[in-house]
Structure 1
């Protein structure tokens, strides 16, 4: 049996990535109800805001879902983890920081702990610290990214050789072919963010969804290299402004000011392309429709099974 399904008690090996301050109960619950693992991304939201989303999600589904705490982003990491304990969530996802100091408390509370890594070294340290699942993210992924810029295709097999835990592949996956490819590399499942943006349940601005649907294979851009704050965004007027500001020698503090979650919300929730940005992964170029979350997961599983069957037959 797939180890990931057993550990998380889910039907399909498909996880939702954390979405920062645009995270919401509707999409999280839809992913869990469809058989995947929905995730609430805490971003920089206050504990009260996150607790409200947790409570709303629990009203919409009794299936497992996770709380993603970006340790290096949120000023409320400890308080948020206490919320997860209070509400007896099934899992916690730790990203953007060192998970080791938080793992003893979470393990004592009985959580399945997922940790996001971008290198073999990080994966080994997470396993040694007591993590249950490794999410290995390549720099094809949307949003905040590792400055290492390692691709998912090369990262997954190297991490598979380095750890014995279930590994989830993230970055560049949006259909059944991607799922099949990651399973063939040894991963136990996949995590997706951009693909879930373009679903019927996702309560984001139509402009965001339209930009994803219209994207070509080169319609995302990396910003933040000059200040050591890597982000992958959709190519929009605002992301072009950020690139120009880097060329002009923007400071790290000013860059951080221009890429706060407030600007994220302006882009994704208000459709404001002049004052806000849209996170978007390289997989955007593959996305051409807006199905329901249930339709998407069912289709992906069917495609993955067919792809693996054809690949196996071709080798015989």
Structure 2
């Protein structure tokens, strides 16, 4: 068992968090992660309305009595989103952990503090993490360039970003982007993080509510099978390399505007991928870490394996490399 200030703050058994993922962060997955000792996360905007989020929270409570959280990602959207209403539902339903991402969470911090909500803010740069710390968030999730979804515009991989954050932050933080096993957890802890956040790895689990063909595609994918879209728009997103995403990248790189690719990258098409299993039907997010994902376990099997492997690495493999040295005469 690996205990630290992060697990104690959230009341969880293991320092492993399931990140919020559009169309994926639903009750079955979040509950399975929490039941296995990690922190499951519901994705607020996966639910069509705030009331649907309320129902999903209640459904999750029927599946687990362990802590779980809600992700709220505030990003530019084609259609206006009632973010305030989603926040109110989460708070009213007694959610005590909220993962924020995208825009600054400052407008909601007074409400969160009033209701004792622990806030984990996702950041892709140390400067953003330090700003979030000043705002009073309880922890941050540091996303390296390897991550699925939005890696920011600095292109700093976790091997540099994690220790850079550790040198500057005083609040707990977890590492995100490129984590799938015990090796990753041990490495993150060694670099100064308090735990890990995984998205792609949790997509390829038994309880993940996506089509089995998508899970199998992740298992069969390599670290080379992702592509960065929206770079010219400075809203970079890492997605699976397929016909749709490749076409969109080519259009934008040749001077196209968002309007020219909107029909290709629409969220409804990405949702269709997850529901129908046609991995060429739209643009869908996945991380480079798919290159080291080789099976589709239950969440209990996965988390137990990660903790066991990380413990073995820390206690045995690394410890056995230490040798006693004789004093220099």
1:273 partnered with 2:279 = yes
The 5 A counterparts of 1:246-261 are 246-256=252-262, 258-261=264-267
Aligned equivalent of 1:130: 136
Q: Which residue of 1 aligns with 2:68?
A: 65
Give the TM-score normalised by the residue count of structure 1.
0.95
Ranges in structure 2 where 5+ consecutive residues have no aligned partner? 324-329
Which structure 2 residues correspond to residues 34-113 of structure 1 after superposition, within 5 A? 34-43=36-45, 45-73=48-76, 75-113=81-119
Q: Which moved more, 1:243-252 or 1:225-234?
A: 243-252
Aligned pairs (5 A) from 1:145-156:
145-156=151-162
* Whole-Å separation in 1 of the counterparts to 2:15 and 2:166: 17
Secondary structure of 1:174's partner? coil
Aligned to 2:197: 191
Task: Measure the CA separation in 2 of the matches of 1:182 and 1:121.
Answer: 19
Which one is further off, 251-260 or 106-115?
Answer: 251-260
In 1, Cα distance between equivalents of 2:131 and 2:262: 28
Give the distance between the partners of 2:322 and 2:260, measured in 1 at CA.
54
C-alpha separation in 2, matches of 1:145 and 1:53: 28
**Counterpart check, 1:159 vs 2:165:** yes
2:175, 2:197 within 8 Å by CA — same for their partners in 1? yes
CA deviations 1:155-180 (Å, max 9, x no partner) are: 11111111111110000000000000
Cα distance between partner residues in 2 of 1:29 and 1:235: 30
Quick check: 2:71–2:100 contact (8 Å CA) kept in 1? yes
Match of 2:220 in 1: 214
Report the counterpart of residue 288 of structure 1 in structure 2.
Answer: 294
Shift of 1:7: 0.4
Q: 1:302 aligns with which of 281, 303, 308?
A: 308
Specify which of 238, 242, 258 is matched with residue 236 of structure 1: 242
TM superposition shift of 1:73: 4.7
Give the superposition deviation at 1:144.
2.6
Contact map agreement 1:200 1:291 (CA 8 A) in 2: yes
| Residue in 2 that maps onto 1:26 | 28
Question: CA 1:43 to 1:261, structure 2 compared with 1: closer, same or farther past 3 Å?
Answer: farther
Q: Is the 8 A contact 1:208 1:278 kept in 2?
A: no
1:311 maps to 2:305: no
Conserved? CA contact 1:22–1:265, under 8 Å: no
TM-score (norm 2): 0.92
Q: 2:175 aligns with which of 166, 169, 183?
A: 169
Q: Answer with 1 or 2: which has the greater Rg.
A: 2
CA distance, structure 1, for counterparts of residue 217 and residue 278 of structure 2: 12
